[in-house]
């Protein structure tokens, strides 16, 4: 996710839409209760009312080679997401969408501030949250395909102005930070 974040920033700087500002943040403490993102949302260094949406890159480097399934959560947090998600296709990636803006990752902290979110997640694996999750396990082509998808989302919303927020049925409220 971190290398994807850096590559996404590089691409947006070189050939991305220029009408909006982009903030790139890497949070820590997700596994211990969304500590970093929760702290940021409660003590923001920018005006959160001006944040259009939040895109969360979570385990995007581990797209499975044999089953290219990508989970995108938060598709119900803005009316714009549904049509946009239906129009974005990259290679043979199979997308599973969930509408809820609440889940066990950093997008939840932003959703709870009424900010539309999208959470890109390639799923768990045998090295999940273990020291054995190392660079030799990364699916670099799959990660680039996911980044292309995210760049398309950003490009397709660059002229939309402020996206409307929609509260969703929050299936995983127990994971929300307090």
pLDDT at 14: 92
Q: What is the pLDDT of residue 128?
A: 65
Cα distance between residue 152 and residue 164, in whole Å:
19
| Residue 25: alpha-carbon gap to chain centroid | 12
Separation between Cα atoms, residue 149 and residue 166, nearest integer Å: 22
pLDDT in 10s for each residue of the chain, 178 residues:
788 999 999 999 998 888 889 999 999 877 777 999 999 999 999 999 999 999 999 888 878 888 888 999 999 999 999 889 888 777 778 899 999 999 989 999 999 999 999 999 987 767 766 676 777 778 888 899 999 999 999 999 999 999 999 999 876 544 444 4
pLDDT for res 45? 95
């Amino acid at each position: 996710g971190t290398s994807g974040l850096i590559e996404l920033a590089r691409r947006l700087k070189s050939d991305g839409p220029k009408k909006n500002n982009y903030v790139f943040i890497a949070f820590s403490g997700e596994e211990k209760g969304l500590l970093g993102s929760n702290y940021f949302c409660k003590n923001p260094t920018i005006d959160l009312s001006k944040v259009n949406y939040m895109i969360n890159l979570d385990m995007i480097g581990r797209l499975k080679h044999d089953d290219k399934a990508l989970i995108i959560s938060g598709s119900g947090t803005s009316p714009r997401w549904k049509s946009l998600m239906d129009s974005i296709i990259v290679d043979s990636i199979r997308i599973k969408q969930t509408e809820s803006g609440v889940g066990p990752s950093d997008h939840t902290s932003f959703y709870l501030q009424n900010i539309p979110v999208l959470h890109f997640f390639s799923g768990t694996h045998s090295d999940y949250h273990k020291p054995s999750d190392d660079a030799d396990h990364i699916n670099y082509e799959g990660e680039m395909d996911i980044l292309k998808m995210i760049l398309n989302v950003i490009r397709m919303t660059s002229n939309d102005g402020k996206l409307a927020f929609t509260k969703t049925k929050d299936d995983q409220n127990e994971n929300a930070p307090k």
